[in-house]
Chain A
Amino acid sequence: MATAAIAPEREDYLNKEYGIRSWLLTVDHKRIALLYLISITLFFFIGGFFALLIRLELLTPAGDLVQADTYNKLFTMHGQVMVFFFLIPSIPAVLGNFLVPIMIGAKDLAFPRINLLSWYLYIAGGALMLYAILSGGVDTGWTFYTPLSTSFSNTHVVTAGLGIFINGFSSILTGLNFVVTVHRMRAPGMTWSRLPLFIWAHYATSIVMLLGTPVIAVTLVLVVLERTLHLGIFDPRLGGDPLLFQHLFWFYSHPAVYIMILPSMGVVSEVMACFTRKRIFGYTFVAMSSIAIAVFGFLVWAHHMFVAGMSMYAALVFSILSYLVAVPSAIKVFNWTATMFKGSISFDTPMLYALGFVGLFTIGGLTGLFLAALGLDVHVTDTYFVVAHFHYVMVGGAVMGYMAGMHFWWPKISGRMYPDSWGRLAALIVFVGFNLTFFPQFVLGYMGMPRRYWDYSHSPEFQVLNVLSTAGATILAVGYLLPMVYFLWSMRYGKPAPANPWGASGLEWMTQSPPTTFNFDETPQVTWEAYDYENIPAPVPEEAFGD
């Protein structure tokens, strides 16, 4: 097992050219995807490290691990790093960049150089964010609520704000690239109804990136201007209205959660279809529900502000619209479950993560109904209930989807197979650790423990649940470390991957693993419908797996 399996020497995008220039100046969408993979993994572990410190602090009611303002900086930067530098770029920038061109039979994205610029903007934003973290951090909460962020905090709000502002343009340009590529560069025969659902999901995500991100860009510009020049736009003492900031902030930040979850839904649709050997149940409904989520996602933002002092009547409007946006998500979950009916299901690692996604996203979605219910939201908002809800959707949903995607396409990306038994073990650990971490927080939330509390010694009865949660967090951390280990291991020692190890349908499985720089020798002609699994032989088990 430990001897390095020698991959047959064949030209592909990895061994085509070597050297730092070939990576830092590449315009090949696959190499840019790998650059993104490395940078977002770095930020994932920074954010994860902050999360562990927070959980350690909450092990005991009294604030005894770190000082109060250090704790405030920890949860602020945990939020900012995870949301802006991991969750939003993760699947679109890594799996999307790698796969969107290949899946539609194109040689590359529509604007390759803008794709590289998008990565450099991400790195510039990330550098500013790291500088803000290292030189003292930010203590305003990831939401930058005013007037705390504009006039009552003396931490690095301007640096972090500019970092996120620049990073916003990275996701705008990624979204722009995807929309133009899907419209303009589909291979002959690849009609809209033959597009893989992964592409539908990324098309919907790009709509949200394009139309939402500029609003937080301008909001952060106004916050930075207000902090430096003492204008009065959001400062009530100078006539401004803090609720205006919250409207502008959440107008982007709620659709941003759909940027995070829609790509994972695309991944799960692909994985579900492949490992049940079946066409996704109700393909058009699942595709249209991605677009519906992206569109309706823009109408519901003020359900984050029900108790913030907005008018009662507007709260009614946003609450009923929030229930409207829950329907497409429910449709997707039902369709995935129905896809398994009469399938021929095998439980490789990607399938385990996909099933985990469906389960946890169901709980995340259902608890969303608690928060959209006005009367209940008054009691549970800003408590650990809402923390548990969004972690179920983001960590249970988006990160599980990301893991499913990484394990499903790793053979195509690296040309190597990873050890599947380790993969399944890690999936199980992540599932158990996740539930142990975040399920107790639902109960904590309804008990009334407010979020962002450094010390809760006034209510020692919360400690039991917090200890469970911290225990879960450590298991989750182990679960996330394992894949990094065996992925790196597989780069060197993994069995060379065949072109189609899972017997999946899709143009990306018809090129070699890893693909050549221009993906296809000649542009493919598509004559089959999406997911025509009756014409694709299931993989013979022993030949497909590494160990």
Chain B
Amino acid sequence: MSEHSSSAKLYWIIWGSLIVLTFVTAGVAYLDLGPFNTIVALTIATCKALLVILFFMHVKDASERLTKVVIISSIFWLLIMLGLSLADFSTRTIGS
């Protein structure tokens, strides 16, 4: 897809930051951040995922709009399933 292959240096930088982020998320988990532990873990994971998708999977530079639409709609559908199901599970104790 990418006619011009970007230089290998960029990939090594991305790879380096991914490894660093992995050990950061593992380390941060041992700190007591109250309710923020999960949020921090998920944001780090999302950053790593974005790095892989945008750079390693060439979504940022080479692929066309349709691929981005497919990715975003798949993730949106997952959120529909999780979100609407939670509507039931979280309010079930209120109205029995």
Q: Report A's interface with B, CB cutoff 8 A.
A: 183, 211, 215, 243, 247, 251, 298-299, 301-302, 310-314, 317-318
Q: Mark B84-96, 1 if CB is under 8 A from A, else 0.
A: 1101100111110
User: B1 contacts the other chain (Cβ, under 8 Å)?
Assistant: no
List, in ascending order, chain A residues with CB within 8 A of B93's CB.
Answer: 311
Given contacts A211-B77, A298-B77, is CB(A310)–CB(B92) below 8 Å? yes
Cα of A217 to Cα of B42 in the assembled complex, Å: 26
Q: How far is the CA of A215 from the CA of B82 in the complex (A)?
A: 12
Chain A residues touching B, majority SS: helix
> Quick check: B88 and A310 within 8 Å, CB to CB?
yes
Per-position binary interface string of chain B over residues 48-74, scored 1 when its CB falls under 8 Å from any chain A CB and 0 otherwise: 000000000000000000100000011
The listed residue (A183, A215, A251, A311) touching B92 by CB distance below 8 A is A311
Compute how far the CA of A318 lies from the CA of B83 in the bound complex, rounded to whole angstroms. 12
Tell whether B28 is near chain A: CB-to-CB under 8 Å: no
Note all chain B residues with C-beta closer than 8 A to A247. 85, 88
Query: When chains A and B are docked, how far (Å) is the Cα of A302 from the Cα of B81?
Result: 11
Contact of A243 among B66, B73, B81, B88 (CB under 8 A): B88
Is B81's CB under 8 angstroms from A215's CB?
yes
- Verify if B80 is at the interface (C-beta below 8 Å from A): yes
Contact between A299 and B95 (Cβ–Cβ < 8 Å)? no
Contacts of B85 in A (CB 8 A): 247, 251
Closest to B81 in A: A251
Do A311 and B95 form a contact, CB below 8 Å, given A183-B66, A211-B77, A298-B77? yes
List chain B residues, Cβ under 8 A from A317: 84, 87
Measured in the bound complex, the distance between the Cα atoms of B91 and A243 in whole Å is: 14
The residue that B95 contacts in the complex, of A211, A215, A312, A318, with Cβ under 8 A, is A312
Are A313 and B91 in contact, with the CB atoms below 8 A?
yes
> With A and B bound together, what is the CA distance between A430 and B77 in angstroms?
39
**CA A312 – CA B88 in complex, angstroms?**
8
Bound Cα distance A251, B78 (Å): 11
Q: What are 11 A-to-B residue pairs whose CB atoms are below 8 Å?
A: A243-B88, A247-B85, A298-B80, A298-B81, A302-B88, A310-B92, A311-B88, A311-B91, A312-B95, A314-B91, A317-B84
Chain B positions within 8 Å of A301 at CB level: 84
Distance from B85 Cβ to chain A, minimum over Cβ atoms (Å): 5
Complex-state Cα separation, A299 to B83, whole angstroms: 10
CA distance A313 to B91 in the complex (A): 7
* CB-based nearest B residue for A321: B84
B residues within 8 A CB of A215?
Answer: 81
**Given A211-B73, A215-B81, A310-B92: 13 more A-B contacts, CB < 8 Å:** A183-B66, A211-B74, A243-B88, A247-B85, A299-B80, A299-B84, A311-B93, A311-B94, A313-B91, A313-B94, A314-B87, A314-B88, A317-B87
